[in-house]
Amino acid sequence: MSSAGPPQPEPELLAAFRDAGQEHVFAFWSELDEARRAELARQAGTVDLALVTRLFREADAGRLANPEIAPFPVIGADDAGRGRARAAGQDALGRGVVGFVTVAGGQATRLGFGPPKGARAVGPVSGKSLFRWHAEKVQATSLRYGHAIPWAIMTSDANDRATEELFEAEGWFGLEGQVRFVRQQMLPAMDGTGRIVLQDAGRIAMSPNGHGGVIDALGRGGALDWFAERGVEYLSYFQVDNPLVNPADPVFLGFQVERESEMSAKVVRKRDPLEKAGVVVLLGGRPGVLEYTELPEELARSEDSDGHLRFGWANIAAHVFTRTFLERMQGWALPWHAARKSVPGIDQEGRAVHVPALKFETFIFDAIPEARNFLALETSREEEFAPLKNAEGENSPVTVRAAILARTRRWYSTLGLRAPEDPDLLEIGPLEAYDLETFAEYVGRVAGGGQE
Ligand code: UTP
């Protein structure tokens, strides 16, 4: 559009938005300079109007037609098959057929505005960022198994530039060529009447399409082919906000290999019946994850004959997929979930307001019912799950730091060693050790006069 042109966007774009009842998106067009017009037109061009119209209409339809809910048989932490699984997982890692996938495209609204979540400091003493913490695991595992483990990271418009700049500034954490970014799709937020929310006069309030968007992003972004070229058959998936996660757990990988599972999940016992966590269950006979809001309280509280919660296996969002499963899932539509959230925006007069809005997301765990031989493996929360979600209180920087330090202390005491009293001496980064086994090796190296 030339600056001499009328204060209108391209006719086709405008017509599409008008037909969808969304032409207010361009209400402030005449007030925008050329650059902002171009940006708004670009953004508007990415909106799938038919999809958002349908999602708004169906937002309250509910996805469950009351399927029968039954417990799912989880592989327990003391399962007799663990030893064999470990060997199979070590073999897979040693053959170089494992890659990592991290989802880091979320907006981190609960944590608050600022840098991407992955840039937040979690090293209890060093202040190392979440990205560095995970990058050290990639490095450590690559060294340990003799293969450069390829690592795909999903970002979104909300944070891709800042994330890529961080990696560049940090010299790719020593992983140049081993890391590939993919970008997920964004969707507009809609107000209570189905109108697209404007963040400001020249911008639509968009949000990423949920961690389920990773399937499409990996395919469309070329990462599945990239993994295939590198011989990767299994993808270990984790969320950027959990520093304790161990993507190279040979036992988990080994069960996946041995049982020819297309997707698997790690679970921990719920802390209490009403903990706000999705649980792995059978839904109408098929495995899946039920969100805590969907589990009736009576069922949430029910116990089995051993006194355990019948529906007590919380999903910690650590999965393994086969690459071929993700290839098969390309183009398959995960169900949509609508979340009601307050979104910073403007009203029709252009005044800044908080708009009660609907945001639409897909969740990766909704792929579970589609996977052949899905399995779930019990792990320990203290070892593997301490997500950074909130600025204060539960799952906040304070609790994450405490969880990292407590785990290190436990590693010392499990080996019959005394942990340093001084917390400043207590940080063990993933490059030194990322689980009890690698910690025992680290201690051995140090005792043997290694370079640490
Ligand atoms: P959460 O659902 O906790 O979202 O994401 P969030 O963005 O981190 O935080 P809130 O809800 O806005 O406060 C769990 C993981 O999934 C990723 C996040 O980056 C995080 O690692 N995620 C979430 C995506 O990659 N894309 C999304 O659209 C949503």
Pocket test for ligand 1, best of 100, 107, 155, 364 (most atoms within 8 A of CB): 107
Note the pLDDT tens digit of each residue in 291-318.
Answer: 999 999 999 999 999 999 999 999 999 9
* 16-391 CATH pick, 1.20.1440.120, 3.90.550.10, 3.30.70.3040, 3.40.640.10: 3.90.550.10
Pocket test for ligand 1, best of 211, 292, 388, 395 (most atoms within 8 A of CB): 211
Residue 7: the pLDDT is 67
Strands 263-269 and 234-239, bridge-based pairing: unpaired
**How many CB atoms are closer than 10 A to CB 383?**
19
Q: Ligand 1 centre and the CA of 173: distance in Å?
A: 23
What tokens appear for 415 in the block? 């080996």
Which ligand 1 atom is at minimum distance from the Cα of 242? 21
Residue 447: the pLDDT is 85
Question: Among 54-63, 173-182, 366-375, whose mean pLDDT is lowest?
Answer: 54-63
Atom 27 of ligand 1, nearest CA residue: 210
Q: Ligand 1 centre and the CA of 376: distance in Å?
A: 22
pLDDT grade for 233, boundaries at 50, 70 and 90: very high
Atom 15 of ligand 1, nearest CA residue: 239
Atom 4 of ligand 1, nearest CA residue: 106
Instruction: Using the predicted structure, report yes or no on whether residue 3 has a pLDDT greater than 50.
Output: no
Q: Ligand 1 centre and the CA of 79: distance in Å?
A: 32
Residue 77: the pLDDT is 96
What tokens appear for 228 in the block? 């295939």
Q: Ligand 1 centre and the CA of 278: distance in Å?
A: 15
Which ligand 1 atom is at minimum distance from the Cα of 390? 13
Residue 59: the pLDDT is 79
Q: Ligand 1 centre and the CA of 206: distance in Å?
A: 14
Instruction: Identify the CA nearest to 205 among candidates 190, 192, 194, 184.
Output: 190
Atom 5 of ligand 1, nearest CA residue: 106
pLDDT grade for 431, boundaries at 50, 70 and 90: very high
Residue 1: the pLDDT is 44
Atom 25 of ligand 1, nearest CA residue: 105
**How many CB atoms are closer than 10 A to CB 328?**
15
What is the pLDDT averaged over residues 407-424? 94
Residue 451: the pLDDT is 52
What tokens appear for 88 in the block? 């199979």
Residue 449: the pLDDT is 73
Residue 115: the pLDDT is 86
Q: Ligand 1 centre and the CA of 198: distance in Å?
A: 22
Cβ atoms of residues 248 and 98 within 8 Å = yes
Instruction: Using the predicted structure, report yes or no on whether residue 134 has a pLDDT greater than 60.
Output: yes
What tokens appear for 4 in the block? 């001499």
Question: Among 50-54, 390-394, 432-436, 445-449, whose mean pLDDT is lowest?
Answer: 445-449
Which ligand 1 atom is at minimum distance from the Cα of 154? 25
Q: Ligand 1 centre and the CA of 112: distance in Å?
A: 12
Cβ atoms of residues 431 and 140 within 8 Å = yes
Q: Ligand 1 centre and the CA of 106: distance in Å?
A: 4
Residue 2: the pLDDT is 45
Which ligand 1 atom is at minimum distance from the Cα of 104? 19
Atom 7 of ligand 1, nearest CA residue: 106
Pocket test for ligand 1, best of 109, 111, 241, 291 (most atoms within 8 A of CB): 241
What is the pLDDT averaged over residues 102-116? 90
Residue 112: the pLDDT is 84
Residue 158: the pLDDT is 87
Helices 34-45/11-19 angle, 10° precision = 50
Q: Ligand 1 centre and the CA of 7: distance in Å?
A: 37
Fill in the DSSP letter of residue 118: G
CA 214 to chain centre: 9
**How many CB atoms are closer than 10 A to CB 184?**
28
Q: Ligand 1 centre and the CA of 62: distance in Å?
A: 22
What is the pLDDT averaged over residues 212-238? 98
Instruction: Using the predicted structure, report yes or no on whether residue 168 has a pLDDT greater than 80.
Output: yes
The helix or strand, by DSSP H or E, that contains position 436, with its residue range, turns out to be: helix 436-447
Give the Cα separation of 171 and 425 in Å (integer). 26
Q: Ligand 1 centre and the CA of 262: distance in Å?
A: 23
pLDDT grade for 423, boundaries at 50, 70 and 90: confident
Which ligand 1 atom is at minimum distance from the Cα of 105? 25
Which ligand 1 atom is at minimum distance from the Cα of 207? 28
Note the pLDDT tens digit of each residue in 171-200.
Answer: 999 999 999 999 999 999 999 999 999 999
Q: Output the pTM of the full model.
A: 0.94
Atom 23 of ligand 1, nearest CA residue: 106
Q: How far is CA 191 from CA 49, 54, 144, 151, in A?
A: 15, 14, 51, 37
Residue 83: the pLDDT is 98
Question: Among 227-231, 346-350, 410-414, whose mean pLDDT is lowest?
Answer: 346-350
Domain ranges of the chain: 16-391
What is the pLDDT averaged over residues 119-145? 97
Contacts of 117 (CB under 8 A, 6+ apart): 104, 106, 108, 111, 130, 159, 240, 241, 388
Strands 352-361 and 337-346, bridge-based pairing: antiparallel
What is the pLDDT averaged over residues 234-246? 98
Q: Ligand 1 centre and the CA of 81: distance in Å?
A: 34
Contacts 24+ apart (CB under 8 A), 440-446: 440/415, 443/415, 443/417
**How many CB atoms are closer than 10 A to CB 348?**
10
Using CB distances shorter than 6 Å, the residues near ligand 1 are 103-110, 117, 154, 156, 184, 208-211, 213, 239-241, 361, 389
Q: pLDDT over 90 for what percent of the chain?
A: 89
Atom 3 of ligand 1, nearest CA residue: 389
What is the pLDDT averaged over residues 338-353? 92
